[in-house]
Chain A
Amino acid sequence: MATFTPTVPGQKATAGQGGGGGSAPPRRGGGGDSNRGSGGGSSNYGERLRRARLGLACGLTPILMLFVSFTSAYVVRKGLPTLDATTNQYVHDWLPVNLPWTLLIVNSLVLILSSLTMELARRDITRQAALAPAARIPGVSLGRERHFPWLSITTVLGVAFLVGQWMAWRALADRGFYVANTPSSSFVYLLTGMHAIHLAGGVIALLAAGAIALLHRPLDNRRIVVDVTAWYWHFMALLWIYVFALLALVR
């Protein structure tokens, strides 16, 4: 008994190649790595990009939850009177942190600027990808394209931000706010530190995108990496603005 059920006549037609069904994902990629052998067809590419973006959106959710948790801990802890064990009285022991404002504002500007250059990098590579098929046609010249190294600039700005954050932590320590000695400074280090770790992840992704470019891997791959990294980068910029606002407003 053949258990593969008899197919409808119409099914055979669509069974040939993926994408025939419009919304159907690529079929022929083969289990392991659907990037292989797909030849960079544009419909396949669009699906890969959409899938990568969807994956990123899912990936940002837990990061958001992480910071939501920290925020609620922060707000609760700030408002919470604590018990003085000697007097059995509740006291407020919250000491606002003396933040290095100038440095943090400069850092914020650097990060916002990097978000802009990242967006320019994303648009640049999108345009390249759109023109690529035309450029491949023999005899068609699109003129010498000047590629401004937006990606490298973003990477540099990202590293600059991290260095700036490091300086901010040093400034905090100089003012007597260590990781553990006041409840408020613990939260400052926690929030800025966790953000810095996530941003460092973004820098690594940027370096990976650069490596892809150097290795002359297919443009599509690079474009997906750049696109997803760009959205991640914007999210990090927004997250920083949020963290900064939280530290500034809830002291």
Chain B
Amino acid sequence: MSTPEIIHAHAAPQGFIRKYVFSLDHKVIGIQYYFLALVAVFVGMFLSLLMRIHLVWPTASIPLFGDIKPETYLTLLTMHGTIMVFFVLTTAPQGGFGNYFLPIQIGAPDMAFPVLNMLSFWTTAVAFVVMLAAFFVEGGAPLHGWTGYAPLSAIPSSGPGEQLGADLWILSIAIFCLGSLMGALNFITTVLDMRAKGMTMMRMPLTCWSWFITAILALLAFGVLLAGGILLLMDRNLGTSFFVPAGLSLTGKMIFPAGGFGGDAHFSHAGGSPLLWQHLFWFFGHPEVYIAILPGMGVASQLLSTFSRKPIYGYKAMVYAMLSIGFLGFMVWGHHMFMSGMSPYTAFAFSIMTMAIGVPSAIKTFNWLGTIYKGRIRFQSPMLFAIGFVSLFVSGGLSGPFLAQPVLDIQLHDTYFVPAHFHLIMGVAAIFGIFAGTYYWFPKMFGRMMNETLAQWHFWFSLIGAYAIFMPMHYLGMAGHPRRYSQLTELQYLAPLLPLQKFITYAAVATIAGQFLFLFNFFWSMFKGPKASDNPWESTTLEWTTSTPPPHDNFGGKVPVVNNGPYEYSVPGAARDFVMQTDPPVGSGH
């Protein structure tokens, strides 16, 4: 049953610290990233739960937490968004799975720069600690939302949490940028330089393509966010005026910059542009959306093919679609700013480009359906989540063309329609990608199978729950319910919407409860699950050719040589219904 293990690893580290803490092994680093994201996702989820409770019962007091005031609500919202986007959606699929499986899937013994890899994880971890620290400083965490629009974020007196908390928030993001850039550099070099013999670019699993393209996006986008963060920190602490216009008055008091240089009492801000921050932020922010969702697309493609026992439909089209999504993703940032006072003429261009990005997205959906068409679908838990991913991707994607039209944005911008859209597509769909990846790769990572029944319950809770939470938000948005409102008590036209908000809160509580099934299954299976074989899903890619879990150098001293494309399932005339990438060449072999 088991493969005789010949491990020739030269530098398998000894000792707990080198092996599990400051490890250079990409597999350990991948698991570290994954656990960081797991902690972050439960923190983020807890914050959202508090938000939902305050929203419908504004006077409720939470045990162990106390009253939620309107500013607390905004703090929760800011930290929920920031933690989820940076420390979950960017960290888990790319840092976690990417780190663990990219080298194995291309047949490399490790990442190109192991030390840099370790540094990028620990940088990210430090960023997370700094982010959480914002909760505990005087004034608390910032309330300016995850987008941090200046001048709200640039003036320390604009609200509670905008003092030290906001500085820590910006600092954390800047540190995170550095960590992500190091990671991206590593991913790109690894893909370009470390592929095994025969592993041409067009034989890479689509997961590798998605990690590769994500890394390119990260490399180009995070530098811009860093630039914005530096300018914002300077505005806040050195008294510059990049984003702060002249002559601001806050509740009747003129605003003077912090630490005015030259000791001039009349020294004032001098005409910065709040829109400049938005441009810099969204130039990063939109590619970030694709950074979050692309790895999910990769995983979904891999799984739909594997569990349908069918080659992926249109491999090349999938690659080109991801490339064009990444490319177009840099030209559409302005669609977040249709109502911002930006020139209405540029809205035209941004709008057309945004619609254009719908085309590769549609190609992907078409190909996913084409993949399961005439397949032989096995409904193990990874596949359930992959199918759920497609469903959510379609639902979340189709509200895009509403928001991409400036004229409809007049009504929908900054209403609940927007959170509905992005939660479905970059929130829940991406999380479904992460879940699918977890159920799929857990056996390889931890050597044991997860429990199928618990996984199925988890799937139904998550799928139905996600729709129950986010579908009604479209209705709220159409009715004109602005987002980021801590209560519905002030505007009269919001009163009839309260029952719907309550429904969403109930759905959220149930969905969050369902996530503990996953948590339990995860840790229980890690120790008590049935032992996994080397290739429990009968997959074709390289990680399934090596032992479970993989040895220190990934292939136990062997060197994989790749002869086949990544998705050769049900090849006519083959002995089995799957042909591994290392098997003798068959079929199209592309």
Direct contact of A and B (CB under 8 A): yes
Interface residues of A (CB under 8 A from B): 1-8, 11, 14-16, 18, 21-34, 36-37, 47, 50-51, 54-55, 58-59, 61-66, 68-70, 72-73, 76-77, 80, 82-86, 93, 176, 178-183, 186, 190, 194
Q: Beyond the given A32-B25, A51-B112, A54-B112, please list 19 additional residue pairs across the A-B interface where CB-CB is below 8 A.
A: A3-B3, A3-B544, A4-B546, A8-B584, A21-B197, A21-B559, A25-B108, A29-B109, A30-B12, A55-B113, A58-B185, A64-B223, A66-B227, A80-B271, A178-B261, A178-B262, A179-B240, A180-B238, A182-B270
Task: Say how far A12's CB is from chain B's closest CB, in angstroms.
Answer: 9
Contacting A77 at CB < 8 Å: which of B197, B273, B553?
A: B273
Interface residues of B (CB under 8 A from A): 1-3, 8-13, 23-27, 108-110, 112-116, 181, 184-186, 188-189, 192-197, 219-224, 226-228, 230-231, 234, 238-242, 245-247, 257, 260-262, 264, 267, 270-273, 276, 279-280, 283, 533-535, 544-547, 552-555, 557-559, 561, 563, 580, 582-584
Q: Are B3 and A62 in contact (CB under 8 A)?
A: no
| B264 nearest CB neighbor, chain A only | A181
Task: Say how far B76's CB is from chain A's closest CB, in angstroms.
Answer: 30
Give A114 to B363 CA distance when docked, in angstroms. Answer: 52
Give A54 to B113 CA distance when docked, in angstroms. Answer: 11
How many contacts between A and B, using CB within 8 angstroms? Answer: 228
Would you list 24 pairs from A and B whose C-beta atoms are within 8 A, ordered by A residue? A2-B1, A3-B544, A4-B534, A7-B582, A8-B584, A22-B197, A23-B197, A27-B109, A30-B552, A30-B553, A31-B24, A32-B13, A34-B109, A59-B181, A62-B226, A65-B224, A73-B231, A80-B271, A179-B240, A181-B261, A181-B262, A182-B270, A183-B272, A186-B242
Q: Are A5 and B11 in contact (CB under 8 A)?
A: no
A4 neighbours in B (Cβ, 8 Å): 3, 534, 545-547
Q: Are A3 and B261 in contact (CB under 8 A)?
A: no
Give A86 to B246 CA distance when docked, in angstroms. Answer: 10
Given A69-B224, A180-B261, answer yes or no on A55-B112 (Cβ-Cβ < 8 Å): yes
Task: Say how far A52's CB is from chain B's closest CB, in angstroms.
Answer: 8
Given A4-B3, A61-B220, A69-B223, answer yes or no on A82-B246 (Cβ-Cβ < 8 Å): yes
Contacting A69 at CB < 8 Å: which of B189, B228, B559?
A: B228
Main secondary structure of the interface of B (DSSP, over half): loop
Given A2-B1, A61-B220, A69-B223, answer yes or no on A32-B193 (Cβ-Cβ < 8 Å): no
Q: Are A27 and B559 in contact (CB under 8 A)?
A: yes
| A58 nearest CB neighbor, chain B only | B185
Q: Are A5 and B580 in contact (CB under 8 A)?
A: yes
Given A5-B580, A51-B193, A76-B276, answer yes or no on A58-B544 (Cβ-Cβ < 8 Å): no
Give A12 to B552 CA distance when docked, in angstroms. Answer: 21
A2 neighbours in B (Cβ, 8 Å): 1-3, 534
Task: Say how far B331's CB is from chain A's closest CB, in angstroms.
Answer: 15
A18 neighbours in B (Cβ, 8 Å): 559
Q: Are A76 and B246 in contact (CB under 8 A)?
A: no
Give A55 to B272 CA distance when docked, in angstroms. Answer: 37
Task: Say how far B329's CB is from chain A's closest CB, in angstroms.
Answer: 14
A93 neighbours in B (Cβ, 8 Å): 246, 270-271
Q: Are A83 and B12 in contact (CB under 8 A)?
A: no
Give A63 to B219 CA distance when docked, in angstroms. Answer: 10
Task: Say how far A34's CB is from chain B's closest CB, in angstroms.
Answer: 7
Give A77 to B231 CA distance when docked, in angstroms. Answer: 13
Give A83 to B273 CA distance when docked, in angstroms. Answer: 10
Task: Say how far A61's CB is from chain B's closest CB, in angstroms.
Answer: 5
Closest 8 CB pairs of A and B: A82-B271, A85-B247, A65-B223, A62-B223, A69-B227, A30-B10, A3-B534, A180-B239
Give A64 to B13 CA distance when docked, in angstroms. Answer: 37
Tell which of A31, A47, A180 has the most Cβ of chain B within 10 Å: A31
Given A18-B559, A61-B220, answer yes or no on A83-B245 (Cβ-Cβ < 8 Å): yes
Contacting B272 at CB < 8 Å: which of A77, A84, A181?
A: A77
Give A186 to B231 CA distance when docked, in angstroms. Answer: 10
| B247 nearest CB neighbor, chain A only | A85
Task: Say how far B4's CB is from chain A's closest CB, in angstroms.
Answer: 9
Tell which of B24, B26, B228, B553 has the most Cβ of chain A within 10 Å: B553
Q: Are A8 and B561 in contact (CB under 8 A)?
A: yes
Q: Are B241 and A73 in contact (CB under 8 A)?
A: no
Task: Say how far B354's CB is from chain A's closest CB, in angstroms.
Answer: 21
Task: Say how far A67's CB is from chain B's closest CB, in angstroms.
Answer: 8
Q: Are A31 and B11 in contact (CB under 8 A)?
A: yes
A29 neighbours in B (Cβ, 8 Å): 10-11, 109-110, 553
